[in-house]
Structure 1
């Protein structure tokens, strides 16, 4: 497996562990609809959190969250709309980004809630 794929999987696993510690229940990982893949769908109380995980080995070209573009946002919104409707969920939906940055042998995790409001 390519190194960037391994880094991405490690970042997603760290994000899942982070969310569980914060009281979230993980409902789905790598959920697909059409061309979209939702990294993590989690629930906390009456909130459905849709989380895009971005992992980078350096911030030389920008912060991990800077790599979520309008096209990705549109795909995620469409996918989550289908998820909510198909499961007949009555929850508030929030779109988050978890940015994971590898710094030598350590990982820094930043949870950006309501991240798509900033685009």
Structure 2
């Protein structure tokens, strides 16, 4: 599987994630926000919560564990990126980390993901 295919698949997954979140009433604030080497796929507002969303897409996964998709190191990076975003924007309100997975064309959404698995 080439890099271009993975990028296209990832972009499609992020597009689907944005549509899904909008249907839930989220306001999309940022897409692919970067700080140095850190990145957040989607930053959105869900009522009063600022939500940092990680999107993962797998097309041919026969058996996938959520813990295999988001490592502890990736969670730490996401948390550091969120902290940098909040400092840059002067945000001091509630935050949340959600994960959105598309595995074999099925959506799996985890709200408050850091505390759910």
TM-score (norm 2): 0.89
Q: Deviation string for 1:76-101 (max 9, x for gaps)?
A: 11111111121111321100100112
The equivalent residue for 2:113 is 115
Structure 1 unpaired stretches of 5+ = none
Q: Does 1:7 align with 2:3?
A: no
Q: Is the 8 A contact 1:47 1:94 kept in 2?
A: yes
Following the alignment from structure 1 to structure 2, what is the Cα–Cα distance between the partners of residues 118 and 37? 22
The equivalent residue for 1:73 is 75
Structure 2 unpaired stretches of 5+ = none
The equivalent residue for 1:98 is 100
Q: Is the 8 A contact 1:38 1:76 kept in 2?
A: yes
* SS in structure 2 at match of 1:2: helix
Deviation at 1:44, TM superposition (A): 1.5
Change (3 A) 1:65 1:27: farther
Following the alignment from structure 2 to structure 1, what is the Cα–Cα distance between the partners of residues 46 and 67? 22
Q: Does 1:85 align with 2:101?
A: no
Following the alignment from structure 1 to structure 2, what is the Cα–Cα distance between the partners of residues 91 and 111? 23
**CA RMSD of superposed structures (Å):** 1.7
Q: Is the 8 A contact 2:110 2:116 kept in 1?
A: no
Count of residue pairs brought into register by the alignment? 115
